[in-house]
Amino acid sequence: METGKHAIVELQELRNRVKVFRDRAHAGEVLAGMLAEYRGTDTRVLGILAGGVPVAAAIGRALDLPLDVVVVSKITLPWNSEMGYGAVAFDGTVQLNEALIENLGLGHRDVETGIAHTREKVNSRLQRFCAKPAAALAGHGVILVDDGLASGFTLLTAIAAVQHAKPARLWVAVPTGHGDSVQRIAAEVDALYCANVRTTHGFAVADAYEHWSDVSEDDALALLRAARRPDGAAH
């Protein structure tokens, strides 16, 4: 296994393959096998809300590590809720895609309105999930988890926010990722674990999964509550 600063750890047998995971929980189990050296340590597992939480929950269960969520949200266009030009994280960190903003012709007031709306969304989710990861990260190793890595902009914002909490080390774990984005994200953390790296055209995170659907906040909250209970049982 490659180790050290900016290492990329992958499973060569899964490179450029599709439909390699049954679902997010299975993907987390595969990643847990790659992360076995952290079992029972003081490492924290953080799942990016919402799709990263089932993956992170499986890792936490397999490695006996505590689970929390990272709240980060795209700043989306008024006319396209799927397209983001920036992101806001749980500690107020804001990152903007300045080139995209310029290309779209968004004015300063448009951007400020988008940031304010997204801050409200993030704060609402923080309250609902009682998520305070920053308070417990200083000096600990942190595994930041999402369900896939496409452009990576939202993940970069989450990384910046977690780094502000001064963890001892920060690793990213994703089941699948585009090769270019994997390289870019790896440069920002101590190591990146990606089971299924794909360098083919037309990358889509969902293509790595046999069963893919959106993860609701209710689903993510149930997983988090189960992980926080002493017996690990679901409500």
- Pick among 3.10.129.10, 3.40.50.2020, 3.40.50.300, 3.20.20.70: CATH of 7-71+132-228: 3.40.50.2020
Q: Would you state the structure tokens that stand for residue 181, as one six-digit string? A: 């984005």
Contact in structure between 143 and 35 (CB atoms under 8 Å): yes
Contact in structure between 59 and 172 (CB atoms under 8 Å): no
Nearest Cα residue to 180 out of 146, 220, 152: 152
Whether the link from the prior residue into 220 is cis, omega within 30° of 0, is no
Q: What is the 3-state secondary structure (H, E, C) of 146-201?
A: CCCECCCHHHHHHHHHHHHCCCCEEEEEEEEEEHHHHHHHHCCCCEEEEEEEECCC
Q: Where, residue-wise, is CATH 3.40.50.2020 in the chain?
A: 7-71+132-228
pLDDT in tens, the chain (235 residues): 344 456 999 999 999 999 999 999 999 999 999 999 999 899 999 999 989 999 999 999 999 999 999 999 999 988 887 788 999 999 999 999 999 999 988 999 999 999 999 999 999 999 898 766 656 788 899 999 999 998 888 999 999 999 999 999 999 999 999 999 999 999 999 999 999 999 988 899 999 999 999 999 999 999 998 987 765 443 3
Give the pTM. Answer: 0.90
> Which amino acid is present at 4?
G
